[in-house]
Amino acid sequence: MEEGEIFGFIGPNGAGKSTTIRTLLSLIYPTSGNAKIFGKDVTEFGPEIKQNIGYLPSEVFYYDNMRVKDLLKYSASFYKKDCTKRIHELAEILNLDLTKKITDLSLGNKKKVGIVQGLLHEPKLIILDEPTSGLDPLMQQRFFELLEEENKKGATILFSSHILSEVQRLCDRVAIIKEGRLVTVEKISTLKENNYKRFKIEAKDKLAKEYFAIDGINKLEINENTVSFLFKGDVNEVIKRLSTIQVTNLWVDEPDLEEIFIHYYEKEA
């Protein structure tokens, strides 16, 4: 990862995203190898490094009997700067009530506490582990804006997720991991070029296989008069071809992550 970038980190559940992050935060220790942040070993210089890290876990749990305000104050007390102003700014942006008790908060609101808690000390590195679960689309949008703002101010962001669109929306580069191994690191722009669309077509008549002999079609499946395939390339090609048949229904989707992975597997094999 380079300084100042927003780096996506995607992989299916159990691929090792959280494990990597927890190692970086020295919550767990590597059985072999090492990791460095800011050029320093994470195990050896843990506390020093963490002074400049903000972390938002995928599931947020805080001391239930505390008020939001007190929790954030406690959180701020670990850092060597006065964060009161930033806490109030962030709470305002996210529309978070500081006087409530943590127990009384909904999942989304707890998440907001997590966001404020992770950003209040204006960290140089922000680590986000599947941060958007529980946030409504509006808040998600605001949260992304907040991250982009922090990024402009110079913060580096590590964004872990299994939702491709989130990563695409925000990140410059992305690492794809599977079963604990790094499959590839790509620029989002490259990934988009490689972007597959999933087509599903229902036609009036039975369709012949030859009909879909277009370059860039993958995984063609024909079942009576429904057809599905993955397509990479100029979408117009497909549309032109489709215009000659009687279509009763048409779906065009982004393929899910699993399919992208299949793509990367094929590449490796």
**What angle, 0 to 180 degrees and rounded to 10, lies between the N-to-C axes of helices 84-94 and 107-119?**
140
Calculated CA dihedral for residues 8, 96, 118, 134, nearest 10 degrees: -40
Q: Could you say whether residue 62 binds other proteins (CB under 8 A)?
A: yes
Could you tell me the strand order of the sheet in which 53-56 lies?
53-56, 125-129, 156-161, 6-10, 173-178, 181-187
User: Shortest distance, CB of residue 168 to other proteins, whole angstroms?
Assistant: 26
Over the window 104 to 143, marking each residue x when it contacts other proteins by CB under 8 A and - when it does not, the resulting string is: -------------x--------------------------
| Residue 252 contacts other proteins per CB under 8 A | no
Among 1, 12, 79, 169, binds other proteins (CB under 8 A): 79
Told to check if 61 binds other proteins by CB under 8 A, we report yes
- How many residues touch other proteins (CB under 8 A)? 27
How far does CA 125 lie from the centroid of its chain?
A: 16
Tell which one of 12, 16, 18, 254 touches other proteins (CB under 8 A): 18
CB of residue 81 vs other proteins: minimum separation in angstroms?
A: 12
Measured from the CB of residue 58, what is the shortest distance to other proteins in angstroms? 8
22 binds other proteins, rule: CB under 8 A: yes
| By CB under 8 A, residue 29 contacts other proteins | yes
In order, the DSSP letters of 120-155 are: TT--SEEEEESTTTT--HHHHHHHHHHHHHHHHTT-
CA distance readout (Å), 228 to 166, 200, 217, 225? 25, 4, 10, 10
Query: Which one among 3, 40, 63, 165 touches other proteins, defined by CB under 8 A?
Result: 63
**Encoding tokens for residue 191?**
């990934």
Distance of closest approach, residue 9 Cβ to other proteins, in angstroms: 16
Maximum Cα–Cα distance across the chain: 71
Residues in contact with other proteins by CB under 8 A are 18, 22, 25-29, 46-51, 53, 55, 57, 59, 61-64, 74-75, 77-79, 117
